[in-house]
Structure 1
Amino acid sequence: MRIHVIADVVDSDGGHVVERLEQLGGEIVQLDRDELATYDSIGDSDLILLLGSDRAAHEPKWLDVVEAESVFVRAALRDSTPVIGICYGAQLMARALGGTSWRADQAEVGWQRIDTVDPVLCPEGPWAQLHSDVFAPPPTARVLGTSWRGTQCFIDDSLGTRAIAWQFHPEVTAATYERWVNEGYYGDGGVDEKDLIRQAYENEARSRIAAHKLTDSALTFLGVSS
């Protein structure tokens, strides 16, 4: 498998998900979303993975970056390359396919269980959450999971190729989560940072196993084989 990972250059750790992809023989090619080439220029690809970001897809200052990545995603799907989106990547994919996103009235943080109609592609968790934005899925999507804050997982094949998006963070390691908390990824106010970090390390082993299993399920659903 040749897998292109789109991420911020300063935060490109794919954690448990990329670890599992590499275990399955995946060749990981990192792409900087701020300097993103066209899809046609990257060569063969079996999978596109959109990682999270501390930016927001709806902020006007990121308009050009969001549009470039949206064009990339649509081109990949039209060319039969499946896409996985995580957190910001899920919001980006939603917007690329006709949905939208906006600032939440309160951050969603910590290890939270979600309501699901598909325990294989969207297990109830608990999963790591750390975001201040929410999104509405594309009108063509099928929502598989929700929380009281909004959509947590959707699938879509409107451009002829399957895509899956998770608002939660199956990939995040405890060390990365701790860094995000210290850097204020969740926004401002009302958060017990020490408790969030404690949750990260308490859930580390279980989260890794769950993320590997979810990655396997996603690859099967997307038709990507090692």
Structure 2
Amino acid sequence: MRLHVVADATDREGGYVVERLVQRGGEIVWLDRDALPGFNDLDDPALVLLLGSHKAAHDPRWSDAVARESALVRASLRAEVPVMAICYGVQLLARALGGTSYRADDPELGWKRVDTVDPVLCPEGPWAQLHSDVFVPPPTSRVLGTSWYGPQCIVDDSLGGRAIGWQFHPEVTTDTFARWVEESDDTIRAAGADPRELVRQAMANASRSRNAAAELTDAALAYLAVDLPPA
């Protein structure tokens, strides 16, 4: 089954989530979000996964790319191809379905627990957070998880296909998180946080992160009715 993964060309960090999709027998097809094909050009998609990005969905500089990706999301769901989304991906998903996103006053950083009404599709964590934007869910979505910062998980089936998205990062590995922290050093320090402490948190959670991501991916696949064989 072909699983189409939308990512920045320079940052294809699917981590533990993509690892689990491959373990379940999925064939990964990478799509550059700056040069997206139309939905009709996808090769028999069984799932569309939207990964994170260094971009901001609300930034006018990326409006054309956001419009193309939003159109792909809507076309996928209308064709009953499910959509899974992470961080920037869920902000894009929200916008595609009638919600919005915006820059927050302060970033959300480190391993944080979330408040949940569905511990299967949105376990309380703790989960990795490293973002400065907040999304507003569309009126058709159900919010399954929140933090003091904003929504953390939504599901939506308003266009005929099912979608799920998380603001946190279930996919991120320790090495990738450490690299993101290094790249975001100025933002992190400006927020009064210690980059070394964030990396320490990543290392402390390393032993559970892969298993937690695998369990969450399995739960999402079941919800989305993506019929991959058990790992």
TM range (shorter): over 0.9
For 1:30-41, list aligned pairs within 5 A. Answer: 30-41=30-41
CA distance in 1, matches of 2:139, 2:90: 15
CA distance in 2, matches of 1:158, 1:170: 25
Query: Given the alignment of the two structures, is residue 213 of structure 1 paired with residue 215 of structure 2, yes or no?
Result: yes
Match of 1:223 among 215, 222, 225: 225
Whether the aligned pair in 1 keeps the contact of 2:185 and 2:195 (CA below 8 Å) is no
Match in the other structure for 2:94: 94
CA distance in 2, matches of 1:24, 1:129: 26
Query: Given the alignment of the two structures, is residue 127 of structure 1 paired with residue 112 of structure 2, yes or no?
Result: no
Whether the aligned pair in 1 keeps the contact of 2:84 and 2:165 (CA below 8 Å) is yes
1:57-95 Cα offsets, whole Å, 9 max, x none, are: 000000000000000000000011000010000000000
Match in the other structure for 2:111: 111
Report how far residue 204 of structure 1 moved.
1.1
Query: After alignment, is 34-43 or 186-195 more displaced?
Result: 186-195
Query: Given the alignment of the two structures, is residue 202 of structure 1 paired with residue 204 of structure 2, yes or no?
Result: yes
- Give the gaps of 5 or more residues in structure 1: none
Query: Given the alignment of the two structures, is residue 63 of structure 1 paired with residue 63 of structure 2, yes or no?
Result: yes
Q: Which amino acid aligns with 1:220?
A: A
SS at match of 1:143: strand
Match in the other structure for 1:76: 76
Aligned CA distance change for structure 1 residues 101 and 186 (closer, same or farther; 3 Å): farther
Whether the aligned pair in 1 keeps the contact of 2:174 and 2:206 (CA below 8 Å) is yes
CA distance in 1, matches of 2:28, 2:187: 31
Match in the other structure for 1:19: 19
Of all paired residues, the percent bearing the same amino acid is 64
CA distance in 2, matches of 1:187, 1:151: 22
Whether the aligned pair in 2 keeps the contact of 1:130 and 1:186 (CA below 8 Å) is no
CA distance in 2, matches of 1:220, 1:55: 30
Q: Which amino acid aligns with 2:115?
A: D
Q: Which amino acid aligns with 2:25?
A: G
Whether the aligned pair in 2 keeps the contact of 1:173 and 1:204 (CA below 8 Å) is yes
Report how far residue 187 of structure 1 moved.
3.0
Aligned CA distance change for structure 1 residues 34 and 112 (closer, same or farther; 3 Å): same
CA distance in 1, matches of 2:45, 2:130: 29
CA distance in 2, matches of 1:186, 1:130: 13
CA distance in 1, matches of 2:104, 2:168: 15
Report how far residue 185 of structure 1 moved.
7.6
Report how far residue 207 of structure 1 moved.
0.9
CA distance in 2, matches of 1:186, 1:119: 34
Aligned CA distance change for structure 1 residues 105 and 16 (closer, same or farther; 3 Å): same
Q: Which amino acid aligns with 1:113?
A: R
Q: Which amino acid aligns with 2:18?
A: V
CA distance in 2, matches of 1:139, 1:205: 37
CA distance in 2, matches of 1:103, 1:167: 14
Q: Which amino acid aligns with 1:194?
A: R
Runs of 4+ with >2 A deviation: 185-188
Whether the aligned pair in 2 keeps the contact of 1:132 and 1:186 (CA below 8 Å) is no
- Give the gaps of 5 or more residues in structure 2: none
Q: Which amino acid aligns with 1:137?
A: P
